[in-house]
Amino acid sequence: MDYFGPLCEFSNGSKPVLVIIDAFTRYIWFFPSKSTSSKEVIKHLTSLFRILVVSDRETAFTSHDFSEFMSSRNIKHRLIAVAAPWANGLVERVNRFLKSSLKKLVNDQRDWELCLEIVQYVFNNTRHSVLKISPSRLLLGYDQRNNTDSDLVEFLNKIAGVEKDFSLEREKDRELALNVAKKN
């Protein structure tokens, strides 16, 4: 978990983005926030299931309120070393991906929040090179559907340096899952 930004203020007052990644599935969540306060973090973490949280030592993650929240839900909190972002490498890579994606997608600096959902969708539904499956499939059991995602996936795969098009493999996986479901 980490904060990305701050970015130009969006119309509703959002500036930083809280980035949360599930280390097992690599599923990501982007939460536009009005501040980097512990109350903002708690608000978003409340809706997610969690056992262990890894973060840097930002004030929001080290505050008394945040510690109380973590204790009340029996969540372990691992703080990375000061000035060692590589210790939280998963989220740092997602932040780099988010930065390069927003640079390519955002025309008006104040429209960045509109693109977050698209970037999150594409990341979560693109096959992960190490896991050989998409984060959505690991977490939810299926890839989320969107009829217009093929051009966007191609564009974002270029940004991320993915050369192979996994859309055909994803379609085969969907057909296989459908056949298995029909038999059961």
CA distance 71 to 155: 42
Cα 55 vs. chain centroid, distance in angstroms? 14
Q: 29: pLDDT confidence band, cut at 50, 70 and 90?
A: very high
Contact 31, 59 (CB under 8 A): no
Tokens 């982007």 correspond to 30
- Give the pLDDT confidence score for residue 97 in this predicted structure: 86
Over residues 107-135, the mean pLDDT reads 81
Over residues 15-21, the mean pLDDT reads 87
- The total domain count for the chain is 1
Q: 152: pLDDT confidence band, cut at 50, 70 and 90?
A: low
Contact 28, 96 (CB under 8 A): no
Res 28 pLDDT > 90: yes
What are the tens digits of pLDDT across the range 31-61?
A: 988 888 899 899 988 888 778 888 888 889 9
3-state secondary structure of 147: coil
First to last CA, the chain: 39
Amino acid at the residue 2: D
- Give the pLDDT confidence score for residue 13 in this predicted structure: 58
Contact 42, 55 (CB under 8 A): no
Which residues on neighbouring strands pair with residue 17, listed in sequence order? 4, 32
Domain, as residue range, for 22: 2-182
- Give the pLDDT confidence score for residue 27 in this predicted structure: 93
Task: Read off the CATH number of the domain in which 56 is found.
Answer: 3.30.420.10
Amino acid at the residue 93: R
pTM: 0.70
